[in-house]
Structure 1
């Protein structure tokens, strides 16, 4: 019987490739994690510390050098980090140079609620606990509870995304019949916003009033400015 050496050679080459791949995979799996690097994607670690993240990762300096990286379940680590009350999203991955990288996106507060219970309202319209390590410079909101978050959230996002409002508004208070008032950073008059509706027009009216009053040097002449009425600003002098 004639031996087909071409088949034998092909089989031998295939076996060698499989062996080399298996050997390479085992060597790669046996590599040790040399470093854990924590990166904050949205600025400094204002609301959660690197130490807190390390504890959640359940990885410390000893285990990094003693454990093979095949035991690291990246998805589980991400899910664990996502449970932290100050973390919005976590992305955990391994680099070719054996580093474990954790990219942390912190939650961002839009306002601080003060009352029987104090907390932040974040950019996702959710209740966010106060931080023990940092106090955010955001408007102070009074007269509301957690159930009022959906109502006040459109106003908070408007302030956050408007340079003029963000610079001037420091407080928001809810009064009777769901009417809101705004406190300003420098000027001592209060702004009666009324219900949180028709915000675009109300803000447009307020900016026009502010610009005109500043030009006439009369900003300090008023004690109350009302935006509750359509297409007009009603002012009360001191």
Structure 2
């Protein structure tokens, strides 16, 4: 019987490749983590520090820093980071040069509710705790409860998405009748918004009024500007 040495050589070569790959994988998995890097999306670490993230990862000589790569549960680390109330999303992965990378996306506030218990409303309309290291420059909101966050959220989104409103609106207040009032950064008159409805029309009317009053140099002559009435701006002079 003639032996086909070509098949034997091919099989031996395949076995050698499988062995080397398996050996390399085991050796690579057994390597310990030599460095841990915390990165913030867009370079922003306003509300939470790198040190806080490291503490959440339990980075010390006895836990993560010198553990082998094969026993590190990346999903578990991500879940730990995601539970922090100032973190929106965390992505944790390992590199070939034995580094553990944690990419952190922070939650961003749209407004700050002022009262007995102050807190932010984030970009998804959810309650967000204040940061001990940074205060966001967002409108101050008063007269609402936690149950009314969804009510004021569309207004906060509109302010955030509109450069003119973002530059001018500093306060939002709801009175006992359910009407909303807006305070301006420079001018001392109040804007009576009324209910948070038909915002596009109300904002369009206010911008038209503001542009004309600015041109006529009459902005300082008003104490209240009401947008609550249908398709009109009603002004009260000082």
TM-score, normalised to structure 2's length?
0.95
Aligned partner of 1:4 in structure 2 is 4
Preserved contact between residue 224 and residue 235 of structure 1 (Cα < 8 Å): yes
Aligned partner of 2:208 in structure 1 is 208
Separation in 2 of the partners of 1:86 and 1:60? 23
With 202-211 and 36-45 compared, the bigger mean Cα shift is at: 36-45
Aligned partner of 2:17 in structure 1 is 17
Aligned partner of 2:145 in structure 1 is 145
Q: Compute the displacement of 1:65 (Å).
A: 5.7
When the two structures are aligned, how many residues end up with a matched partner?
Answer: 238
Q: Compute the displacement of 1:91 (Å).
A: 0.7
Separation in 1 of the partners of 2:149 and 2:191? 21
Q: Compute the displacement of 1:61 (Å).
A: 5.3
Separation in 2 of the partners of 1:118 and 1:26? 52
Separation in 2 of the partners of 1:128 and 1:65? 31
TM-score, normalised to structure 1's length?
0.95
Aligned partner of 1:186 in structure 2 is 186
Tell me: CA distance 1:65–1:130, structure 2 relative to 1, closer, same or farther (3 Å): closer
Q: Compute the displacement of 1:96 (Å).
A: 2.1
Aligned partner of 2:94 in structure 1 is 94
Preserved contact between residue 57 and residue 64 of structure 2 (Cα < 8 Å): no
Give secondary structure in 2 for the equivalent of 1:131: coil
Tell me: CA distance 1:56–1:194, structure 2 relative to 1, closer, same or farther (3 Å): same
Give secondary structure in 1 for the equivalent of 2:177: helix
Give secondary structure in 2 for the equivalent of 1:220: helix
Is residue 232 from structure 1 mapped to residue 226 from structure 2 by the alignment? no
Tell me: CA distance 1:42–1:143, structure 2 relative to 1, closer, same or farther (3 Å): farther
Aligned partner of 1:66 in structure 2 is 66
Aligned partner of 1:85 in structure 2 is 85
Q: Equivalent residues in 2 for 1:115-126 (5 A)?
A: 115-126=115-126
Aligned partner of 1:130 in structure 2 is 130
Separation in 2 of the partners of 1:143 and 1:220? 27
Give secondary structure in 1 for the equivalent of 2:56: helix
Aligned partner of 1:110 in structure 2 is 110
Tell me: CA distance 1:66–1:43, structure 2 relative to 1, closer, same or farther (3 Å): closer
Tell me: CA distance 1:235–1:65, structure 2 relative to 1, closer, same or farther (3 Å): closer
Preserved contact between residue 143 and residue 175 of structure 1 (Cα < 8 Å): yes
Q: Compute the displacement of 1:62 (Å).
A: 6.1
Aligned partner of 1:37 in structure 2 is 37
Task: Kindly provide the CA deviation profile for residues 90-142 of structure 1, in whole angstroms up to 9, marking residues without a partner as x.
Answer: 01111222211111000000000011221100001100011111111110000
With 25-34 and 195-204 compared, the bigger mean Cα shift is at: 25-34
Give secondary structure in 2 for the equivalent of 1:91: strand
Q: Compute the displacement of 1:3 (Å).
A: 3.0
Stretches (4+) displaced over 4 A: 61-65
